[in-house]
Amino acid sequence: MFEQSIYTSRDAACKQPYGAVPAGQAVSFSVYPAREVFLRGVTLYISEDGKEPTAYPMHWGGLRGDCDRYCTTFTPETPGLYWYYFAVEDRHGARKYICRGAAGVGYESDTVQDLYQLTVFDGSYAVADWFGRGITYNIFPDRFCRTEVPPKEGYRAHREVHDNWNDLPVYQPDAHGEILNNDFFGGSLKGVLSKLDYLASLHVQTIYFNPIFEAYSNHRYDTGNYKNIDPMMGTEEDFKELCAEAKKRGMRVILDGVFSHNGYDSVYFNARGHYDSVGAFQSQESPYYEWYDFSHWPDQYSSWWGIYTLPQVNELNPKYLDYIIEDEDSVIRRWLRLGASGWRLDVADELPDEFIAKLNAAARREKPDALVVGEVWEDASNKISYSVRRRYFQGGELDSVMNYPLRDGVMSFLGGSPAEDFAEKMECLRENYPRAVFYNLMNIIGTHDTPRALTVMGAKPEDWSGSRDHRARARLIGEDLIAARRKMYLAAVIQFTMPGSPTIYYGDEAGLQGFEDPFNRRTYPWGNEDGSLLDFYRKLCAVRTQSSALTDGEIAFRKAEGGLLIYERWDAQEHLYIVINRDDEAVVRLPCHAAEDLLDDQTRVDTDTDDLVLRIPACSARILRVTE
């Protein structure tokens, strides 16, 4: 029936406003069939998630070129996820459907499929947008910095303590086939305190800590006591001092909350008897017994991903809710009161929506601008977890999520996938997320759960398939390292110029390498940093901090073809072009007379035409500020 698409969701002529909308906001829809088709009628069908669609007949609204315009408006009254499509009927009564294709371009179908998404949020909820405006530094506490070799004794459980800061983490299983994760290097709060000026040199505004609370393991995701700093990390007074000193430098601190499970060796479960408490493993009369789901007490219970050392909790148990969220001295409120500014929620898609909403409300009661970030690996706007559609951005849930789609897109692009795929992945998020959330994302290219970015850029296929011993000792050197570093530059430029908070995983800026856990958790190489990479990051951090356009400006992709990616960022103060060239040298023409390259402080002017013509070397990037 139609030779070309009659609707594109990202085109203002078809849908206004762009993307997600607040409840109560009227949304206008227009479709443009060719006039020669002679339609009998066009209908918009739209439904709230899980409900039957409602029909909205579209009326004729005039002509655009050789196309008719059919239009209507829809006003969603409540926050939620809505789905829509169009039905068109020709003069003979034959019906076709316009469904969502790539890039929001509608395609004709005989059946209803591939629905368009409309995200509707509570416009009265104010996202804690201070986060997205600044640079974040992610610290894995045991491995960032220590001021001394910690004592080898005096802990609730045995700990292997490394005298040598540069040792490899223990990675082989013990005699029983278990990797205990009980080797420690002694990174501490005082160590972080001693490096605040270093973080300031990177213009860091938020320090995000992986767990700092008492635990058996060095990763501390098996919480032993939510209300105690791990003794190797320091004390509550150390934490307060760190937050106070960070604040003097314009930095905030956010903590990792692990609330879907805690430790087998904890004050709450106490399976090893290391605590004075009566844990759920020890007695059904324990005050913590109702926190857990035992199928056969005490040895059979629900655990996170079947790992026996991580017993799962019933998050909506009233006693657990009081302890973590509701009480005046709850975990959430206590650490905010002591100086933290927000929480990152581990495995947020395994926490009930009601739990997250209650946590957010309690955090806001303690600090009105408290931040709540969720660990979600996919598009969080339409996430389904355990067969349930999740509510993250409708108002009062999450202020941000970890932007794994950005990481995946960057790694794929630099690994050879076309720039079109990266641009489309980002545009999908921009269309589906509320603007305030999209500009508040935790933009990552590495975390404690992923191989080091530099290793991903340069490791050969045989390195990934080699033995664990091989991966433990594998290092990029020579030309391989040079090539990987060039790609790292490109990854960092993308990370720092997309909306959201560019988040540095400790040591990435210094050239740390490593495959999977624990090789991605090596100690920071103080005194042995990759100087050229660190200098580049310092320059990039300065550019990001000093640019209003990169902080909150608009974004538009202008070219995404093969290995070439060009996008704009602009606001009332400045206009930038970001040019990423993954492949061979490219000639780029930009619609301006002159521009300053913020990465090397050179001004390039084309004297022959009204456009700026640049030769962009292979595997290089430019951040160009238009100067006239």
Of 39, 31, 177, 207, the C-alpha closest to 106 is 31
**Three-state DSSP state, 439:** coil
Catalytic residue among 68, 315, 346, 397: 346
Q: How many CA atoms lie within 13 A of 338 on its CB side?
A: 20
Per residue, the 3-state secondary structure of 517-537, as one string, reads CCHHHCCCCCCCCCHHHHHHH
Angle at 214 between CA 256 and CA 235, to 5 degrees: 95
Euclidean distance between CA atoms 465 and 248, whole angstroms: 47
Q: What single letter denotes the amino acid at residue 329?
A: D
Q: What single letter denotes the amino acid at residue 439?
A: Y
The H-or-E segment that residue 493 falls in is: helix 478-497
Tokens representing 58?
């579209």
State the burial class of residue 330 (Cβ atoms within 10 Å of its Cβ: 0-12, 13-18, 19+): buried
Cβ proximity of 1 and 96 under 8 Å: yes
* φ and ψ at residue 365, rounded to 5 degrees: -65, -35
Contacts of 228 (CB under 8 A, 6+ apart): 213, 214, 236
Catalytic residue among 222, 375, 431, 509: 375
Euclidean distance between CA atoms 509 and 535, whole angstroms: 9
Euclidean distance between CA atoms 539 and 599, whole angstroms: 7
State the burial class of residue 290 (Cβ atoms within 10 Å of its Cβ: 0-12, 13-18, 19+): middle
Euclidean distance between CA atoms 597 and 498, whole angstroms: 17
Cβ proximity of 115 and 83 under 8 Å: yes
**Cβ count within 10 A of residue 208:** 27
Q: Pseudo-torsion of CA 316, 341, 440, 187, nearest 10°? A: -100
Euclidean distance between CA atoms 216 and 222, whole angstroms: 7
Euclidean distance between CA atoms 286 and 294, whole angstroms: 13
Told to judge if 375 belongs to the known catalytic residues of this protein, a careful annotator would answer yes
DSSP letter for each residue of 346-402 = TTGGGS-HHHHHHHHHHHHHH-TT-EEEE--SS-GGG-EETTEE--SSSSSS-SEEB
Which residues form the catalytic set?
A: 346, 375
